[in-house]
Structure 1
Amino acid sequence: MSSGKIVKVSGPLVVATGLSDANMADVVRVGEQRLIGEILTMNGDSASIQVYEETSGLGPGAAVETTGSPLSVELGPGLIENIYDGIQRPLEGIMKIAGSTITRGIEVPALDRQKHWDFQATAKPGDKVEGGDVIGTVQETSSVLHKIMIPPKMSGTLETIQSGSFTVLDTVATLRTPKGDVVPLTMTQKWPVRVGRPYKHKYPPKTPLLSGQRIVDAMFPVAKGGTAAIPGPFGSGKTVMQHQLAKWSDVDIVIYIGCGERGNEMTDVLREFPELVDPRTGESLMKRTVLIANTSDMPVAAREASIYTGITIAEYFRDMGYDVAVIADSTSRWAEALREMSGRLEEMPGEEGYPAYLASRLAQFYERAGSVECITSQGDRRGSLTAVGAVSPPGGDLSEPVSQATMRIVKVFWALDASLAYRRHFPAINWLNSYSLYLDSLKPWYDENLGPQFMVNRDKAMSILQEEASLNEIVQLVGKDSLSAADQLTLETAKMLREDFLQQNGFMEVDWYSSYDRQDKMLGMILEYDKLCRAAIVKGAPVTDLFAIPFRERMGRAKSVPDADYPAVYAAMEREMAEQIDAAVAKGGAEE
């Protein structure tokens, strides 16, 4: 270790001299309290350091000591169900030592050193292994089988391996490297957070991520291994939307990063998740979740690290062959931390004071998502990492730099609308401003699993909603009654699509999660109503009679039908709807 002295303190930025042996991105310990920091820039023997903790009380002359290694995370059994701060210190472990507040400079290992895990060896002595090969498993929770892998860039022959009960630091196997050295293997790995973990090959995403939210799954889907952004002004439901994704997405592991958001929102997550039942396993959602809590009252520099900490943990589970979702709430707070540090470093500011490298940093984060073939010599193993980031543009202005840079990178854009949220329409995603660029690549999956009619219905529904937007301008000028019968029907169908299909009720257990099959039947039923009514209008049925049939009202209540009953109920509704429309046609013909 080399050590130096502080010459300047500016908030979370500390400048120290005498560190000629240090390297960029090295972790350092600052002052008597040994605060954690990271070297940002080097100039001769002078280093600019961002400190991840409160720096009050630090002054010139205090010692700085380098550890010689970059900011890294500990990976191994014990990650799932844990709650970490931005630099992977377990909050529960800190609470046991320091009480309710996070003491500055506190050092708590990320993984519990005392807990014993049941390690089941799957390899045997004499096996030739490479980086990524699984040598054993640990049943970490009832939902997650933790695969113990050879660290990347290591290879050799297993000398010894044994099943049994071990702590994360106990030797479970020994490896003889090609050079003849014998290396002890534990159940843990360390990996620098700013370096993506390696993989063999990245594939184009071709499977949708089922979220249970109809506007997402049917209208603007995101693929497993894809990227999505949720921009919106304050109070439009970004956090609600991300909670829904974290709760119901059909992924194996969820990494939820609360990056600079309000502390009470993170408290809601901590209270809700253990109580919620995972629809895939029937267990608590926490059994497959890792939480990273770096709230707005925590040191600003640690926000910048929290995003990388989260995605590195996600890559580790992806390498086991799991589907992982990273929910980052919110990347705008992370960008603000970048802006603050950039200002203190006296760098040339870019647009709105953000650093010139904002777009490249965002791209580095989102590009770590993907559907990949994992490194291993044990056959084909695939995993996926889906990244979903919230963006909080000031005043809802999507032309600001963070929103624009994010839109350039991600392929799904769920634009939240405060006016929809104020009308209690959730999810408050504006169907006219949102888009998904995965529709073409996901079409083969939809055609195979739901039939080709699903995408046809999706496109038809979108065109009806767009027509409604243009008709609304005419309605405001001359009134609804002046429209043709076909246009009035367009407005009626669009209203059903908005209120009965796109809108979901989070207080109704049946409606807060909707399967693909149920979505397909609901959408088909609404469009069948539209099709039959148009045919009836051509045959002379009065619009007032068509709009008076009970189907419209029953469709609104159809969302509350229990999952076990809906196929029969929907089929009966369709038959009755056809009969009622035929009756309206017959009545219109008789009157003529």
Structure 2
Amino acid sequence: MLEQTYVGKGVIVHVKGPVVIAEGMRGSKIREVVYVGEERLIGEIVRIEEDRAVIQVYEPTGGVKAGEPVERTGEPLSAELGPGLLGQVLDGLGRPLDIIAEKAGGPFIVRGIKSPTLPRDRKWHWIPQVKRGDLIQSGDVLGKVKEGPIDHKIMLPPNIMRARVLETYPEGDYTIEEGIVLIEHVGGKEELKMYQKWPVRNPRPFKEKLDPSELLITGQRVIDTFFPIVKGGTSAVPGGFGTGKTVTLHQISKWADADVVVYVGCGERGNEMTDLLHTFPKLVDPKTGRPLLERSVLIANTSNMPVPAREASIFMGVTYAEYYRDMGLHVVLTADSTSRWAEALRELSSRLEEIPSEKGFPAYLPDFIASFYERAGRVKVIGNRDEIGSIAIIGAVSPSGGDLNEPVTQHTMRYVGAFWALDKDLAFKRHFPSINWLRSFSKYAPALKNWWINATGHDMVEYRDRAMSLLQAASSLEEVARVVGEAALSDENRLVLLSAELIKEGFLVQSAYHEVDTYCSPKKQAILLRTLLEFYERAKPLIEAGVPMSKIAEMRSLGLLRRLKFVPEKEFEAAARDAISQLEAEISSLLAEVR
């Protein structure tokens, strides 16, 4: 966050935790950034009463007292957008944590530190794309610089509608503070730099929002096949402690078919965030073989940091995502967790003495959740270019006690297209990802029928429906078996249970730490599921012919089918054919025995 200009001053009259009341603030605006106290702590105006302003402070307010000054800036909380974002680890206000630690002189963050998001001394190789006399409009590309694995497009900011290029500076190495293009617009002449600022709570504009039609490939079978998310889609991942939310988000960040990853750690425990900061930079990008951090932005805002900064971190992260989307890139934003963000809203609401709603949350909680998820989407970007960018938002939810009926989870369900309910019972059985197939859903699955056919040649929607029917039937039979025992079930029902177990073990369970099984391509998913479904279809005639279920359960081909997922991609299709061939041979042998 860049330090902003002073436009006026008030004085503190009341301090209540992170909420400060100042008077002498006539002329100030809602959501205006202010500097509070002698140490100039960063805050934001949330309420105005005549010449009094209620301010939420993003830093600890211990020791702040009445009579200290409050400086106005006249500007809202904004994000710095430009080259240098990728590879950074930032706090909830966009300040680089390494710079904060350096200025603090130790591992403990000292309040009042100001630091811009983007490095001022680093030079970037500027390649201009416009020339003198060109007429340009919002979103047009002025030039490019290389940032990690992507071509970073320097664009005309959305708040400048039209302009004429007066001068383009020659190709070469520049810092972000040096001018690169001189333009003329209704506001007069202006020298543009490589970076721009944008208010974090204002969605960046686009030409048109497009229908979801392209799978966001995550390489995780239970997600891609059963509960898919599309490019530009939204999903929630609710689950209690130990159900695997963090590993699931890591897998998606690593393997998702996206150009840029934005990871927001919002209010998580310090030890979890520390583990993330140690492990994430070591993750290898499977696309480039380079560190995944080179195309990622990490925002770390732990639970012991001031509560208001949690809210800011969510909107800061989605603003970074929109900026890269406007370049025509596909972005994945993961937020862990939105429950901690909602708890911050609850605490601030109580300090502001607002009337509480269910479970003490403010009545506007649904609106805040919606304002976050609705910034996702697959869009045509602004400017004279026919490009499409997208943001997929995946938010972890941490319901107290794993109760999915609590307000944050229930309101989130209203605004997301996919819902991956993590189950502690599955996690205790070492079934990972522990996504409960009976409580989860995806509104995108039917719309992806043509995508699967075009991409793999298989009708995955049909396979999914058949598999879900088996799993649901097995769930009902398991309830009966708990009462009367599995031995009391008919052979037809026992075959359903065996086939469902084969799908669970051979398809739904996936190891994040196995060299082969950590990622599964769409084509491998389609062939694998079709092959496992073949077992049920081919085994049904055995039951009708009177073959005992005990002999079917002992078929050696079952072991081959369970292990198919561990076969590398290049050898997989041949291995699947061999497994089916052995299954057919065993079926023929068993039929011959009873005839």
TM bin, normalised by shorter chain, reads over 0.9
Question: Could you tell me which amino acid in structure 1 is paired with residue 261 of structure 2?
Answer: V
Query: How many angstroms does 1:93 deviate by?
Result: 1.4
Q: How does 1:163-312 map to 2 (within 5 A)?
A: 163-178=171-186, 181-312=188-319
1:195-236 CA-partner distances (Å, limit 9, x unpaired): 000011111111111111110001000111111101112221
CA distance in 2: counterparts of 1:134 and 1:444, whole angstroms: 34
SS in 2 for 1:489: helix
Query: How many angstroms does 1:544 deviate by?
Result: 2.2
**Do the aligned residues in 1 keep the contact of 2:266 with 2:335 (CA within 8 Å)?**
yes
Query: How many angstroms does 1:551 deviate by?
Result: 1.5
Query: How many angstroms does 1:95 deviate by?
Result: 1.8
CA distance in 1: counterparts of 2:54 and 2:127, whole angstroms: 46
CA distance in 1: counterparts of 2:27 and 2:459, whole angstroms: 65
SS in 2 for 1:564: helix
SS in 1 for 2:281: coil
SS in 2 for 1:303: helix
CA distance in 2: counterparts of 1:481 and 1:533, whole angstroms: 19
**Do the aligned residues in 2 keep the contact of 1:374 with 1:381 (CA within 8 Å)?**
yes
1:173-207 CA-partner distances (Å, limit 9, x unpaired): 1112256x221010001000010000111111111
> Is 2:416 aligned against 1:410?
yes
Query: How many angstroms does 1:350 deviate by?
Result: 0.9
CA distance in 1: counterparts of 2:76 and 2:118, whole angstroms: 18
> Is 2:328 aligned against 1:321?
yes
Aligned residue number for residue 447 of structure 2? 441
Any unmatched runs of 5+ in structure 1? Answer: none
Q: How many corresponding residue pairs?
A: 586
CA distance in 1: counterparts of 2:61 and 2:240, whole angstroms: 32
Query: How many angstroms does 1:499 deviate by?
Result: 1.4
Aligned residue number for residue 552 of structure 1? 558
CA distance in 1: counterparts of 2:566 and 2:278, whole angstroms: 26
Question: Could you tell me which amino acid in structure 1 is paired with residue 178 of structure 2?
Answer: D
Question: Could you tell me which amino acid in structure 2 is paired with residue 88 of structure 1?
Answer: G
**Do the aligned residues in 2 keep the contact of 1:130 with 1:153 (CA within 8 Å)?**
no
1:309-354 CA-partner distances (Å, limit 9, x unpaired): 0000000000000111110100010001001111000111111111
CA distance in 2: counterparts of 1:440 and 1:494, whole angstroms: 22
Query: How many angstroms does 1:453 deviate by?
Result: 3.0
> Is 2:17 aligned against 1:16?
no
Alignment TM-score, normalising by the size of structure 1: 0.97
**Do the aligned residues in 2 keep the contact of 1:371 with 1:383 (CA within 8 Å)?**
yes
Question: Could you tell me which amino acid in structure 1 is paired with residue 133 of structure 2?
Answer: G
Aligned residue number for residue 424 of structure 1? 430
Which of the residues 42, 56, 59 maps onto 2:65? Answer: 59
CA distance in 2: counterparts of 1:153 and 1:36, whole angstroms: 25
Query: How many angstroms does 1:273 deviate by?
Result: 2.3
**Do the aligned residues in 2 keep the contact of 1:536 with 1:585 (CA within 8 Å)?**
yes
Query: How many angstroms does 1:507 deviate by?
Result: 2.2
Q: How does 1:86-105 map to 2 (within 5 A)?
A: 86-99=92-105, 100-105=107-112
CA distance in 2: counterparts of 1:189 and 1:149, whole angstroms: 9
Aligned residue number for residue 364 of structure 2? 357
Query: How many angstroms does 1:4 deviate by?
Result: 0.7
Query: How many angstroms does 1:267 deviate by?
Result: 2.1
Question: Could you tell me which amino acid in structure 1 is paired with residue 99 of structure 2?
Answer: G
Query: How many angstroms does 1:434 deviate by?
Result: 0.4
CA distance in 1: counterparts of 2:277 and 2:515, whole angstroms: 20
Aligned residue number for residue 3 of structure 2? none
Which of the residues 382, 390, 395 maps onto 1:389? Answer: 395
CA distance in 2: counterparts of 1:561 and 1:438, whole angstroms: 29
CA distance in 1: counterparts of 2:415 and 2:529, whole angstroms: 31
CA distance in 2: counterparts of 1:281 and 1:206, whole angstroms: 26
CA distance in 2: counterparts of 1:253 and 1:575, whole angstroms: 43
CA distance in 2: counterparts of 1:263 and 1:550, whole angstroms: 49
Query: How many angstroms does 1:38 deviate by?
Result: 0.2
SS in 2 for 1:58: coil
SS in 2 for 1:274: helix
Query: How many angstroms does 1:555 deviate by?
Result: 2.2
CA distance in 2: counterparts of 1:132 and 1:159, whole angstroms: 18
Aligned residue number for residue 126 of structure 1? 133
CA distance in 1: counterparts of 2:505 and 2:334, whole angstroms: 27
Query: How many angstroms does 1:442 deviate by?
Result: 1.6
1:453-496 CA-partner distances (Å, limit 9, x unpaired): 32111100000000001101221222222222221110001001
Query: How many angstroms does 1:452 deviate by?
Result: 4.7
Question: Could you tell me which amino acid in structure 1 is paired with residue 113 of structure 2?
Answer: I
CA distance in 2: counterparts of 1:513 and 1:563, whole angstroms: 10
Question: Could you tell me which amino acid in structure 2 is paired with residue 24 of structure 1?
Answer: I
Question: Could you tell me which amino acid in structure 2 is paired with residue 416 of structure 1?
Answer: L
SS in 2 for 1:552: helix
**Do the aligned residues in 1 keep the contact of 2:458 with 2:526 (CA within 8 Å)?**
no
Alignment TM-score, normalising by the size of structure 2: 0.97
CA distance in 2: counterparts of 1:267 and 1:207, whole angstroms: 35
SS in 2 for 1:89: coil
Which of the residues 511, 515, 518 maps onto 1:512? Answer: 518
Question: Could you tell me which amino acid in structure 2 is paired with residue 359 of structure 1?
Answer: P
SS in 1 for 2:555: coil
Any unmatched runs of 5+ in structure 2? Answer: 1-6
> Is 2:192 aligned against 1:156?
no
**Do the aligned residues in 2 keep the contact of 1:536 with 1:582 (CA within 8 Å)?**
no
Question: Could you tell me which amino acid in structure 2 is paired with residue 510 of structure 1?
Answer: V
CA distance in 1: counterparts of 2:558 and 2:14, whole angstroms: 70
Aligned residue number for residue 373 of structure 1? 380
CA distance in 2: counterparts of 1:442 and 1:561, whole angstroms: 26
CA distance in 1: counterparts of 2:584 and 2:533, whole angstroms: 12
**Do the aligned residues in 1 keep the contact of 2:446 with 2:461 (CA within 8 Å)?**
no
SS in 2 for 1:148: strand
Aligned residue number for residue 44 of structure 2? 38
Question: Could you tell me which amino acid in structure 2 is paired with residue 149 of structure 1?
Answer: M
**Do the aligned residues in 1 keep the contact of 2:251 with 2:512 (CA within 8 Å)?**
no
Q: How does 1:535-550 map to 2 (within 5 A)?
A: 535-550=541-556
CA distance in 1: counterparts of 2:565 and 2:388, whole angstroms: 36
After superposing the two structures, state which structure 1 stretch, 280-289 or 56-65, moved more. Answer: 280-289
CA distance in 2: counterparts of 1:284 and 1:564, whole angstroms: 25
1:124-157 CA-partner distances (Å, limit 9, x unpaired): 222111110111111110x221111010131211
CA distance in 2: counterparts of 1:516 and 1:277, whole angstroms: 21
Question: Could you tell me which amino acid in structure 2 is paired with residue 172 of structure 1?
Answer: I
SS in 2 for 1:565: helix
Question: Could you tell me which amino acid in structure 2 is paired with residue 523 of structure 1?
Answer: L
Aligned residue number for residue 461 of structure 2? 455
Which of the residues 130, 143, 151 maps onto 1:136? Answer: 143
Which of the residues 476, 479, 488 maps onto 1:473? Answer: 479
Query: How many angstroms does 1:583 deviate by?
Result: 1.3
CA distance in 2: counterparts of 1:20 and 1:264, whole angstroms: 43
Structure-2 change in CA distance of 1:452 and 1:564 (3 Å): closer
CA distance in 1: counterparts of 2:568 and 2:457, whole angstroms: 24
SS in 2 for 1:343: helix
1:368-417 CA-partner distances (Å, limit 9, x unpaired): 1111111111x311101111111111111122111111111111111111
After superposing the two structures, state which structure 1 stretch, 388-397 or 231-240, moved more. Answer: 231-240
After superposing the two structures, state which structure 1 stretch, 265-274 or 28-37, moved more. Answer: 265-274
Query: How many angstroms does 1:423 deviate by?
Result: 1.2
SS in 2 for 1:182: strand
